[in-house]
Amino acid sequence: MRLDPRKSVLAAAALAAAAVAVGALACGGSEPRREATATGDPAARSLTPADTAAWYQACWGHFNSREWDAFRACYADTVESEQVDSGHPRARGLEAAMAVNRGFAEAFPDLKGTGELILVNGANLVSVYVLIGTNTGPMLGPDGQSTPATNKPIGVYQAHHLQTDASGAKVVKEEFYVDSGTMLAQLGLSELPARPVVTSAAAKPTVVVASGTPAELSNVELMRAQMAAYNSHDAKGVDAFAAPDFVYRDLTRPADQTAKESSASTVEFFKAFPDAKLVPLSIWGAGNYVVVIGRFEGTNKGPMPAMGLKKASNKTVSARYLDIMRWENGKAKEEWLFYDGPAFARQVGVVGKK
């Protein structure tokens, strides 16, 4: 994992947080498990991991077709739903979660979510979905102010982490990780570089279920070792874990990076944050994939050209992230990093302009 945020616009960050928060929750509601019987009685047993993945996709289908009654069955009454670092408070309870989902559907009436990757380990599920739609309705910001429709399309990647209840029939907690800066740019509210609108996605998601094999556990230990190298500020040590054809996808950046480009970014970042530290809150594997949910901590003590920071701000940053790494023969082949770029930039003291 190599946290290295790009320069992010802040002038319209509140709007971006609004749009992304609703969007994330919309796709999040489409995951949890549902009733196992046609009568609606609680399931007597937990779903199998394969059933969980199928159920998750079915819930997404309910959202995409706006089948709200079926969709709400995916949530526990006491669900807590959060758009990480968006500026929005957690949606607590079924009705609050449903209100957010409906609000996003009103802002993007044609929005649909398409799965790229689904990882299941016990009661935990993490997915990568693409949200594609057009903003033809007003958006409500964290400040309660409504912003007119931009009539522009979005196509953004989002990571979703959920946990189910003991029966495996309801989502009790979910978190969404997405870059609001990318959405700002796609909506025409930022002129800064960002990933272009995604216009296509996988025909169906890759689904991987944890098996607890020695190889799977070894991947987790490799991930821990790479994070230890990062926390020691050993850039060469971090690079040693990457395959020559490693692909790094920091979703706040306009494009993917090669192993060489990623290495250069890490060196620059260590100069800007000499006390940079990754604090893993959860780490687990599923086949060749390892998921880390954690927090970055550090103090800006040097310039960061990538963010337009010409001198140190001496500000402390604490940013949450979700990282997915695919391993092959002991080497990292592919990585997806999700966090909110504008939230990071605000903390470091960057003041952006359109």
| CA pair distance 52, 29, nearest whole angstrom | 14
pLDDT in tens, 64-74: 999 999 999 99
Give Dmax over CA atoms of the chain in angstroms. 63
Kindly state the tokens that stand for 52.
Answer: 């969980």
Q: What is the mean pLDDT of residues 91-117?
A: 94
Q: What is the mean pLDDT of residues 296-318?
A: 90
| Cβ-based burial of 244 (10 A; exposed 0-12, middle 13-18, buried ≥19) | exposed
Mean model confidence pLDDT for the chain? 86
**Contact partners, residue 51, CB within 8 Å, separation at least 6:** none
Most confident segment among 147-151, 249-253, 348-352 = 249-253
Q: Compare 51 and 167 and report the one with higher pLDDT.
A: 51
Which domains occur in the chain, in start order?
Answer: 13-209 (3.10.450.50), 214-348 (3.10.450.50)
Question: Could you tell me the pLDDT band of residue 141, with boundaries at 50, 70 and 90?
Answer: low
- What's the confidence (pLDDT) of residue 61? 95
Q: Are 136 and 148 in contact (CB under 8 A)?
A: no
Kindly state the tokens that stand for 66.
Answer: 């706006």
3-state class (DSSP) for residue 10: coil
| CA pair distance 48, 111, nearest whole angstrom | 30
Q: What is the mean pLDDT of residues 115-135?
A: 96
Residue 32 in this model has a pLDDT that exceeds 50: no
Count CA atoms within 13 Å of residue 52 on its CB side. Answer: 29
Q: What is the mean pLDDT of residues 241-258?
A: 97
- What's the confidence (pLDDT) of residue 40? 35
3-state class (DSSP) for residue 26: helix
- What's the confidence (pLDDT) of residue 3? 60
Question: Could you tell me the pLDDT band of residue 2, with boundaries at 50, 70 and 90?
Answer: low
Residue 19 in this model has a pLDDT that exceeds 70: no
Any idea which of 14-18, 58-62, 162-166, 245-249 has the lowest mean pLDDT?
Answer: 14-18
In one-letter notation, the amino acid at residue 190 is: S
Q: Compare 32 and 130 and report the one with higher pLDDT.
A: 130
Question: Could you tell me the pLDDT band of residue 145, with boundaries at 50, 70 and 90?
Answer: confident
Residues in the chain, overall count: 354
Any idea which of 10-19, 28-37, 85-94, 318-327 has the lowest mean pLDDT?
Answer: 28-37
| CA pair distance 340, 227, nearest whole angstrom | 20
pTM: 0.88
Question: Could you tell me the pLDDT band of residue 312, with boundaries at 50, 70 and 90?
Answer: very high
Residue 39 in this model has a pLDDT that exceeds 50: no
The phi and psi torsions of 290 (rounded to 5 degrees) equal -130, 135
Question: Could you tell me the pLDDT band of residue 351, with boundaries at 50, 70 and 90?
Answer: low
Residue 87 Ramachandran class (φ > 0 left, ψ -120 to 50 alpha, else beta):
left
| CA pair distance 223, 332, nearest whole angstrom | 9
- What's the confidence (pLDDT) of residue 298? 97
pLDDT in tens, 183-196: 999 999 888 889 99
- What's the confidence (pLDDT) of residue 143? 65
| C-alpha torsion sign, points 72, 76, 78, 84 | negative
- What's the confidence (pLDDT) of residue 88? 85
Question: Could you tell me the pLDDT band of residue 31, with boundaries at 50, 70 and 90?
Answer: very low
| CA pair distance 243, 339, nearest whole angstrom | 24
- What's the confidence (pLDDT) of residue 164? 87
Over pLDDT 70: what percentage of the chain?
Answer: 85
Residue 10 in this model has a pLDDT that exceeds 50: no
Kindly state the tokens that stand for 12.
Answer: 């319209």
Residue 213 in this model has a pLDDT that exceeds 90: yes
Residue 23 in this model has a pLDDT that exceeds 80: no
- What's the confidence (pLDDT) of residue 70? 96
**Contact partners, residue 307, CB within 8 Å, separation at least 6:** 5, 6, 7, 8, 345, 348, 350
Residue 227 in this model has a pLDDT that exceeds 90: yes
Per DSSP, helices labelled H in the chain are 13-28, 49-64, 68-72, 94-107, 180-186, 214-231, 235-239, 259-272, 341-348
Any idea which of 169-178, 244-253, 278-287, 328-337 has the lowest mean pLDDT?
Answer: 169-178
| CA pair distance 251, 58, nearest whole angstrom | 26
The phi and psi torsions of 272 (rounded to 5 degrees) equal -80, -30
3-state class (DSSP) for residue 196: coil
